[in-house]
Amino acid sequence: MSVKERIKEWLVKVKEEGRPVEVITFYQEIPIRVKTKLLDFDDNFLQWEAEPKLCLGVSDCGRLYFYFFDPYYGQKRLLSAEVNYHGSSMVETTFPKPSQEPRLNRESLRVKTSESLPVKAFVIEGEGKKEFKVWDVSEEGIGIVGEPGSLNPGEEVRLELRLPQGELCVRGEVVSAQPEEEGERYGIKLLIKENEKKLLRSYVMARQREVLNKIREVAG
């Protein structure tokens, strides 16, 4: 039996029993977990009962994640699906596939930056420095966007970070590079001491409060 057939067999049971499934999406890098019911499915799509927080997340993330017990492996496996449509009564996705999502295994909370809580990042190059757009921030690392080829994985960089709470000059290591519409997004692991993390932690907590307030507002 193929993995798709095993998933379909599980979906049949879920639908017949009418039991809620915990689905996960992200809003501004904050995970949103909602229990909802499977309304219908076929070989190409799934339709889920909509919920305000769920719709907020999928409008930003565009994906839905959930776990199913795979009898072949004897354990739970993460599935993901692209969101085709979401409205007040229903969220429709593509048929799910086994997936990996690093955001679900992060040791420290990561938040996307906002206009109300902006962060600026400069890579110091000799006597000069080059500004990069900040994508997201955690106390362990930062995501920045710049021109393709600006940085390379494995490269060590010096950064000047300007946050609403203050400024930091730190070292970092480029651990990833992936294409973005605006250029290339670079994941930087920050090589900093515990006492230097306080400023980043303060920012993450402030931004988290901002995002959670939005989620609560939507949830009513």
**Whole-angstrom distance, CA of residue 141 vs CA of residue 77:** 27
Q: Comparing C-alpha atoms, which of 9, 27, 4, 1 is closest to residue 212?
A: 27
Domain boundary residue, one of 103, 120, 152: 103
Q: Comparing C-alpha atoms, which of 110, 102, 106, 107 is closest to residue 205?
A: 110
> How many folded domains does the chain comprise?
2
CATH number (domain holding residue 53)? 2.30.110.10
Residues 79 and 119 in one domain: no
Averaged pLDDT of the chain: 93
C-alpha atoms less than 13 angstroms from C-alpha of 108 in its C-beta half-sphere: 15
Residues 150 and 206 in one domain: yes
Domain boundary residue, one of 103, 133, 164: 103
Q: Distance between terminal CA atoms of the chain?
A: 44
How does pLDDT run across 125-165, given as a tens digit for each residue?
A: 888 899 999 999 999 999 999 999 999 999 999 999 999 98
Helix, strand, coil in percent for the chain, rounding step 5: 25, 50, 25
What is the domain extent for residue 204?
Answer: 111-218
Residues 115 and 189 in one domain: yes
For residue 203 the two structure tokens come to: 């920012």
Residues 83 and 122 in one domain: no
Q: Is the pTM of this model over 0.85?
A: no
Using CA atoms of 158, 160, 161, 165 in order, give the dihedral in degrees to the nearest 10.
130
